[in-house]
Amino acid sequence: MTCEPELSEDAARRRRSLRPGWTTGTCASAAAKAATIGLVTGTVPGEVEVALPAGRRVSFPVEAPAGRMTPIAVVVKDAGDDPDCTDGARLTAKVAHASGGSTELAAGRGIGTVTKPGLGLEVGEPAINPIPRRMILRAVGEVTDLPLLITFSVPGGEEMALETTNERLGILGGISILGTTGIVRPFSTAAYRASVVQQIDVAAAQGEMHLVLATGHRSEVLARRELPALDPVCFVEVGDFTGIALRRAASHRMRQVNLVAMAGKLTKLAAGVMMTHFHRSDVDTALLEEIATQAGASAKLVEAATSTATARHFAEVALAGGERVALGLVCERARQACQAHVNNRVPVSVWMSDFEGTEVVAWSGEAPSGRTIGGTGERGGDEP
């Protein structure tokens, strides 16, 4: 029986106390409206009000470069207390009358362009998600019903995009204009979860049937070294959201999923916990003791299973003593739990990374490249 708990109330409370900010979508809609006012009246206002998707109206200060014939407005993004790489981005909108029958949104410098399917946007379109697009059209519609050409740009957007998953998703040339509520919730689990789902959807849209789920950056780097032939779009850093990632992979009928993680998260997965945030679930030391005993481990390793609340200590003792069979059994239990979570709809292999992300130290299912699994395969990892 697997479970996928929400964040603990303690962790959620800490997040609620942080100052929220505004999405790139909200800032873009404000800049577009201000520039449109400038087009219609001849003067870009110093402040503008726009509506969020839920109906709440908010105001933003506006900057207007002097001496421009074409109306241009700038709104500076404030991400609140979220460590967002686009905090401080200068969302810039240039507006002109359009010759066509409808308003067109275009990507200027620093705004990404879609080059791959799977994002819900047409290839070749600017990376402006559907809800921000509706916000922008609503905002300028409050000023005029004439068709417009609105070109967005962000100085330094290309560099900002390097800190995102845009390139992997096929969004090239800059950042995306995003947001579903218009508000940035600091350290938003909903945003991370949505990002994981989106990455899997993009891989599926490109016909990729082999997915690699890594729980952290070091695990992903290791997985890329082990599977160099896979397209980068196949690698997804899932963080704590293993459960939703597995379900999404199963919904796309992936033919193979590799899960790469360190001992702590794998031990939680082995216990059936599919949301592995450290504030929400503890390592099951009784499970580690059971696994050590099943592996015929030394008394030292059996004792290590319950002498600390961390799986890392257990793994370190196992590696120091050459007792990798126990780590292979952790991988096997995690593999069984992952497959049970999706009713065996997709085959899952599990690899355990060392703590530096330099080596696969144990596995269950498909073996890492150049290695074979000894025995039944349930004790994978005893022959690294």
Residue appearing with tokens 């004792």:
303
pTM over 0.85: no
For position 6, what pLDDT does the model report? 55
For position 15, what pLDDT does the model report? 47
Q: Are 333 and 270 contacting, i.e. CB atoms less than 8 angstroms apart?
A: yes
Q: State mean pLDDT over 270-284.
A: 69
For position 179, what pLDDT does the model report? 86
For position 380, what pLDDT does the model report? 38
155-185 burial: b if 16+ Cβ within 10 Å, else e: eebbebbeebbbebbbbebbbbbbbebbbbb
For position 382, what pLDDT does the model report? 34
For position 56, what pLDDT does the model report? 93
For strands 256-261 and 210-214, give the pairing.
parallel
What is the Cα–Cα distance from 147 to 149, expressed in whole angstroms? 7
Tell me the per-residue pLDDT of 60-100, one tens digit each, with 9 for 90 and over.
999 998 767 779 999 999 988 877 889 999 999 999 999 88
Tell me the per-residue pLDDT of 42-54, one tens digit each, with 9 for 90 and over.
999 999 999 999 9
pLDDT exceeds 60 at position 374:
no
Count of other CB atoms within 10 angstroms of residue 66: 5
For position 81, what pLDDT does the model report? 82
Q: State mean pLDDT over 264-281.
A: 76
Give residue limits of the domains in the chain. 19-184, 189-364
pLDDT exceeds 70 at position 281:
no
Per the model's pLDDT, the better-predicted residue between 26 and 307 turns out to be 26
Tell me the per-residue pLDDT of 162-190, one tens digit each, with 9 for 90 and over.
988 888 888 999 999 988 888 887 766 77
Q: Could you give the angle at which helices 285-294 and 299-306 cross, rounded to 10 degrees?
A: 170
For the domain bounded by 19-184, which CATH number is listed? Answer: 3.30.2110.10
pLDDT exceeds 90 at position 103:
yes
What is the Cα–Cα distance from 66 to 77, expressed in whole angstroms? 21
CA triple 144-147-152, angle to 5 deg:
95
pLDDT, averaged across the chain: 88
Per the model's pLDDT, the better-predicted residue between 233 and 379 turns out to be 233
